[in-house]
Amino acid sequence: MMWLCVLLLFLSISSSLLPFCASQGIIAPGKYISANQPIISASGTFALGFFSMRNSTPRYYLGIWYNKIQKKTIVWVANRESPTDSLGTFALGVDGNLVVLDATKKIVWSSNVKVADSAINNTTGMLMDNGNLVLRSDEAVLWQSFDHPSDTFLPGMKLGYNRKTNQRRQLTSWTDAEDPQPGMFSFGIGMTGGPQFLIWKDNDPYSRSDVYSNSVSFAKISKLRPFAYYLTLNLKDDDIYVTYSASENSAILRVTLVPDGRIELLLWQEINNDWLSMWQWPSIYCEFYAQCSPFSSCDPKGSQDHCKCLPGFQPKVQQEWDMRNWTGGTCVRQKALRCDKYDGFLKLVNMKLPDHSYILGNMSTNDCESRCLRNCSCTAYAYLNASDGTSGKCLNWYGDLMDLVQDLVGSDLHIRLHDRDPVGNVNVKFTRKNKRSIIIAVAAVSIGLLCVLSGYFIWRKSIGKQERIEETCTGMNTSIELGKSETELNIFSFSQIVAVTNDFCEENKLGEGGFGPVYKGNLMNQEVAIKRLSKKSEQGIEEFMNELKLIAKLQHTNLVRLLGCCVEGEEKMLVYEYLRNRSLDKFLFDPYEKANLDWSKRFRIIEGIAQGLLYIHKYSRLKVIHRDLKASNILLDEAMNPKISDFGMARMFGSDQTEADTKRVVGTYGYISPEYALYGKFSEKSDVFSFGVLLLELVTGKRNIEFFGAELPRTLQGWAWELWNDDRGLDLIDPSIRDTSECPERALKCIHVGLLCVQESPVDRPTMPLVVLMLSNDNASLPSPEEPAFSSIQRRKPSNVVSSSSDHNTLSSYSNNELTITLPDAR
C-alpha cells in the first residue's frame, strides 16, 4: 500500500495535459511519415515517428516519445512484436486503419478496427498533447493507443479491465533496455477478487498491492496526494480502471514498468539531462508476492525473521521455520475449527488484506461478520466503510490466507479461530449473539397460545417422521435384495456410536458438510465414517431418508459403501466405509497436496467417476440421477481410486424414463446444468454436465467456485472454451503436471470431452456410455463442441433462489467448501 502513497506524493511534478489537436499532429488520407519525419503534437510535448534501439542489428519501430527533452524516451511502441529490418512507412491504410508498412509495403502493424464503408476515406490519425495516438472518423474515436499501453503509464491513460468486453489495459515491460519487444512482466489491476494492483511475471503474481473495494479503502492511499495531481479509481459499472490527471506547468515525470519487473517513478532533471529514479516497487522483501507461507504475515521491519505465523497458528514443521524456510514451512491452526458456537474472530489491525478475496456486496458490519460465521469454509472477513454514509463492502476469504503483510496504513482483518481461550494478549471476539429478551417476551405474550397449538401439531408430525425413518431403516435390515444376493444393512445403537467415536470428540471428527459432521470410528472390526444428521437441518432429514433408501441398493467399486444406520430419538446417523484419503477437493485444490495427484492418478480418477456414473445411469437395479456431483463428493481410497458419495439429493428414474420435472431444484453452484437451474428439468444429461465441470477441474487444477467469486467475466468452462478456441489447450493443463504429464494428448482429449459435456443443449451432450468410450479409446473421433452453457458469470442472484439453510435471503448453505442451493418452483 505504501508504494501508492509514495507514487502520489510525487505526482505533482509531471508533464502538462492540454488535450486538444493541431494540424501538425495529424495523419490525413494520402499523407504518411517515414525515415526521420516525425509528427509533433500541437504543443510540441510529444513526437511520433520511427526509431531504432540497436545499431549493430537495426530494428525499426514506430513509437511515441517526449519531444522537449534531449534524451529520447519512448513511452509507446506500435509494432513491438514485428519490427522492420529497414525504415518503414506510417500511414492510413485502404481500410481506414492506421498501419505500419515495411520496405516491401507489407503491413506489419495495424490499429485493426472495423471501419464503416462510409468512413473508410474519412478517417484521420492524430497525436494528442497527452501522448495519445487516436484514429478518428469525424468526431468519433475509433481506436486509441491509450487502450493498448506499452511500458509507460501516462496522465489520462486508464489501466484496468472491462468486464463486459473482456478488454484488459495493462503495462508490459520491454525485454531489456535496448529491446522494446514484450518482456516477461506486466502490470495492471487484478481480475480475481477485489480490485488490486498486480505485477505479473509470466502470468504468475510477482508483487501485489492491498485490496481496494470502495472509495474509502482507496482514499487511504490518496489522502496524501499533492494538489497538482488527481488519482481516480473507478469501480462502477463494467469498467474497472485507475487513471490520473495533472495540473499544468508541472515538471516531467513518468511511471514505467522496467524490464526487471519493477514499477519506477522517474523525474526528468534538466541539470543532469537524465531521469532520476524517485521510487521503486517492489523494493523490499515483503513487497514480493507470498514471501511467507499461508496463515503467516510478513513484517517489513523484521531484520531477519520476516515471517511469523498468525495468532492462533503455529509452524507445521518447526525445523523448517527455524531454518527460515517460510514458504515451505506451513502454519497450521493450534485448534481446529468446529463450525459451532465456539468459533469467533480475532481482529488484526493495519494489515495488507490477503489475496483471493470475495466481495459479497454492500451490507452492515454485523451482517458481514454473520455471513462469514455461517459459512464453515470462511476463514476471514474484512469490512470496508463507505464514504457516503451507506453500507460498506464486505469481503470474505475461503481457504488459505495468502500474501499477508503488516502495513501501517492497512485495513482491519478478522481471522476465524476456535475456543474462548485468549490468543497472545488478545481474546477472540465471539459473535453468536443472545436473543433479545424483550422481543422474546413480547412475542411470547402476543402469540403464546398459537405457539402451544403449533407445537402440538409439530410434535405429532415429528413423531410420524421419526417412525417412518425407523421403519425404513428396520425394513432394510431384512429385505435389501441386490441382484441374486441379499445384503443386510446393520443397525447400530446410539451407545455403540458414542463409544466408538469417544463421545464425538474433536480428534475423531473428519469434517463437516451441509448434512452435518462426520466422525471416524471402528465397528465390526473395520474403520468406518459416521455421518451424523445435524438437528438444525430439516432438509437433512429428507436427505437422510433418501440416501438410506438409495445407496443401500447400489453396489459398485466406484460408489461409497453404506454399512448401516443408527436411529434413536432425535439422533440419525449413517455408517459408511472409511476412506483414508478423504475427498478429492482436499488434494486437487491444495497447492501442497496436489503434488500427490500426478496425471496417471488424475486420469484413473476421471475413469473411475465415469464408471460410477455409468453404473447408476445404466447398469444398476435402480436408475439413479445423482444431482450433486462435485469434487467434495468424490472420496478416495488408499490407492487413490474414486468413490462417488453423498446420494442425499439423488433421485430414482424408471427404466424407460428420460427426464423429470421438479419444483425444488437442489445442487451446487457451478455444477448445475442450465435446463435444471432454469426450468427444473433434470435427467442423465444433468449429471453429464456436472461431470464435465468436474473433468475440467481435474485437468486444470482450478476450482470452479473460484470463478464465481471472482471479478472474471468467464466461468471455468467459459475460460476453457476461450483458450481451446485459441488453440491454447496446453495452457489449460494444471502447471503442476503440465511438464510431467506422460500423455498431454490424453489430457487434451479430456478437455475436449469436458467441453462436450458442458454444452448448453442436453441433446448435444454425450451419454455416459459414450463418455466412457471416448475416454478409453485413444483413436475415437470427437465432434467439435459448441459454446458451453453459463460461459459467462451471472453475478446477481436470481430472484427465485433460496438457500437450503434457515436464512432464505442469502446463499449460505455449504456442502464442504462449495455452495449447495435450493431453487423453489424453478418452472
Residues serving a catalytic function are 628
Q: What single letter denotes the amino acid at residue 227?
A: F
Q: How far apart are CA 823 and CA 799, in angstroms?
A: 10
- What is the three-state SS of 589-608? CCCCHHHHCCHHHHHHHHHH
Q: How far apart are CA 709 and CA 371, in angstroms?
A: 14
Q: Give the Cβ contact number of residue 366 at 10 Å.
A: 11
> Does residue 793 contact residue 712 with C-beta atoms inside 8 Å?
yes
Q: How far apart are CA 33 and CA 49, in angstroms?
A: 7
> β-pairing, 296-298 with 404-406?
parallel
Q: How far apart are CA 618 and CA 621, in angstroms?
A: 9
Q: How far apart are CA 372 and CA 337, in angstroms?
A: 13
> Does residue 672 contact residue 680 with C-beta atoms inside 8 Å?
no
Residue 374 corresponds to which cell in the numbers above?
A: 455461517
Residues 6 or more apart in contact with residue 596 via CB below 8 angstroms: 587, 640
At residue 508, φ and ψ (nearest 5 deg) are -95, 0
Q: What single letter denotes the amino acid at residue 604?
A: R
DSSP string across 651-698: EEE-TT--EEE-SEEEEETTTS-HHHHHH-EEEHHHHHHHHHHHHHHH
Residues 6 or more apart in contact with residue 46 via CB below 8 angstroms: 40, 64, 65, 66, 67, 75, 127, 128, 129, 130, 131
Ramachandran bin of 261, using left for φ above 0, alpha for ψ from -120 to 50, beta for the remaining angles: left
The residue behind cell 451490507 is 363
Residues 6 or more apart in contact with residue 744 via CB below 8 angstroms: 730, 733, 738
- What is the three-state SS of 448-506? HHHHHHHHHHHHHHHHHHHHHHHHHHHHHHHHCEECCEECCCEECCHHHHHHHCCCCCH
> β-pairing, 123-127 with 392-398?
unpaired
Q: What single letter denotes the amino acid at residue 70?
A: Q
> Does residue 188 contact residue 159 with C-beta atoms inside 8 Å?
yes
Instruction: Tell me which residue of 118, 92, 109, 209 sits closest to 159, measured CA to CA.
Output: 209
**303 SS3 class:** coil
Buried b (16+ CB within 10 A) or exposed e, 510-538: bbbbbbbbbbbbebeeeebbbbbbbeebe
Q: How far apart are CA 706 and CA 818, in angstroms?
A: 10
Residue 809 corresponds to which cell in the numbers above?
A: 435471503
Q: What single letter denotes the amino acid at residue 592?
A: Y
Strand order from edge to edge, sheet including 39-40: 39-40, 46-52, 60-66, 74-77
> Does residue 425 contact residue 346 with C-beta atoms inside 8 Å?
no
Q: Give the Cβ contact number of residue 630 at 10 Å.
A: 29
Q: What single letter denotes the amino acid at residue 530?
A: I
Residue 377 corresponds to which cell in the numbers above?
A: 469454509
The residue behind cell 499533492 is 226
The residue behind cell 438409495 is 550
